[in-house]
Amino acid sequence: MQKDENEFWYPEESQDTIHTGKKTSPKTNRQRKTSRKRRRKRKKINGHAVFFLVLFVVFIITVIRLLVWNIGKRSDYDPDEQTDEFDVELLDYVQPLDPSVLQGREDDGITTVLALGNDPLSDKTDGGGLAALMEEKTGAVIRNAAFSGSTISMKNQEFQSDYPLDGVSLYLLCAALCNQNFELMDVVATQLGDKAALTALDTLKNTDMQTVDALVLFYDLQDYKDRRTVYDENNTKNLNTVFGALSASIQLIQENYPHVRIFLLSPTYGTFTGTDGQTVDADRDDLGNGTLTDYINWQLEASRSNGITFIDTYYGAVTLEDGDCLTDGFHLNDKGRERVAKRFADVFPHTQK
């Protein structure tokens, strides 16, 4: 008997009969085909069911991921945290001295620094003063010749006796040192009637510039407070401008004492009461020539142009958030002096006493 290729093969008995348990009956070809179709249908996968199952799984995964995203990741940020760190770049410009200017110069083993400036240096001149702190932190000998209330720039084009502070402005101090002529200083110190001014003048007279290794210039916001012009594009050595007076003074020292390395410290932040009785914020208020930061930027430019070192104390020592470092708005207290001395020592080369 030849087997039909479309049929399954069964033993002879099962091809002729179907066992029911009670009675057997012949199984027709139609019955056998129908039985095979049912078995095949039961084995076929339902496409719709698979689609909805996959869709359901995707939905569950999406819900889970959305819940996790909403929960987020724990951050260490604390909005109430108090910190002294600032996300600002310091304006320091460090310029080493050209080694050629020191050739043939004999080192006496003592680093001597002459400090010129105003109130930050002159407010307190004893052991807790800024000069003493700078000396302690660097190992150098600091000679303090600062005049209270003085400025970098001159108010008048020429010295006038009715405004003696011009006589102790930066350029005239440098000229007196280079010429070793202190006649005008004698008159001015007497007019000022300030014991600290007489002490500063005595320091100048008794300083041998040939033994001085470095010159430090540190003035507070007095030029800004007095509304002095910052820059004159037609005269870069205009002594009535901050940039001009700085440039002329630096160049005068460099020409006469090329072995002296010059350091300029920027003003720190400060406030004061204006003529109208309103508080002036140096960081925000333009009195006609820019805010204090404009003055600082021109000081930095004068430093770069003339190859001296600039130390930023505005952003690097006493900032607008450091009111506890100031008295009367802009005068340094003990904490402020400590901050500035440390800032200076961070840049100034340390020596061994």
- pLDDT score of 61: 79
The CA-based dihedral angle spanning residues 95, 99, 102, 106, taken in that order and rounded to the nearest 10 degrees: 110
pLDDT range class, residue 343, cuts 50, 70, 90? very high
Q: What angle do CA 134, 255, 231 make, to 5 degrees?
A: 75
Whether the predicted pLDDT of 18 surpasses 50 = no
Distances (CA, A) of 306 to 183, 292, 299: 29, 21, 11
Residue 102 CA to residue 203 CA, distance in Å, equals 25
Tell me which H or E stretch contains 117: strand 112-117
- Burial of 292 from C-beta contacts in 10 A (0-12 / 13-18 / 19+): buried
Residue 348 CA to residue 131 CA, distance in Å, equals 13
Which of 43-47, 78-82, 194-198 shows the highest mean pLDDT? 194-198
- pLDDT score of 55: 76
pLDDT in tens, 291-335: 999 999 999 999 999 999 999 999 999 999 999 999 999 999 999
The pTM for the full model equals 0.75
Q: Pick the range with the lowest mean pLDDT from 103-107, 129-133, 304-308.
A: 103-107
Whether the predicted pLDDT of 284 surpasses 50 = yes
Measure the N-to-C terminal CA separation of the chain; round to a whole number of Å: 123
Task: Determine the 3-state secondary structure of 41 from DSSP.
Answer: helix
Interval 3-28 mean pLDDT: 45
Q: pLDDT higher for 286 or 57?
A: 286
Residue 236 CA to residue 247 CA, distance in Å, equals 8
Length of the chain: 353
Residue with tokens 């012009």: 229
- pLDDT score of 7: 45
Residue 179 CA to residue 136 CA, distance in Å, equals 31
pLDDT in tens, 174-185: 999 999 999 999
Residue 101 CA to residue 104 CA, distance in Å, equals 9
Per the structure block, which two tokens stand in for 162?
A: 């009715």
Mean per-residue pLDDT of the chain: 85
- pLDDT score of 193: 83
Residue with tokens 């400090």: 115
Q: pLDDT higher for 226 or 19?
A: 226
Distances (CA, A) of 276 to 221, 227, 238, 272, 280: 18, 14, 30, 11, 10
pLDDT in tens, 38-73: 555 555 556 677 777 777 777 787 767 766 555 544
Query: Strands 112-117 and 141-144: what pairing?
Result: parallel
Whether the predicted pLDDT of 340 surpasses 80 = yes
Q: Pick the range with the lowest mean pLDDT from 11-25, 32-46, 81-95, 266-280.
A: 11-25
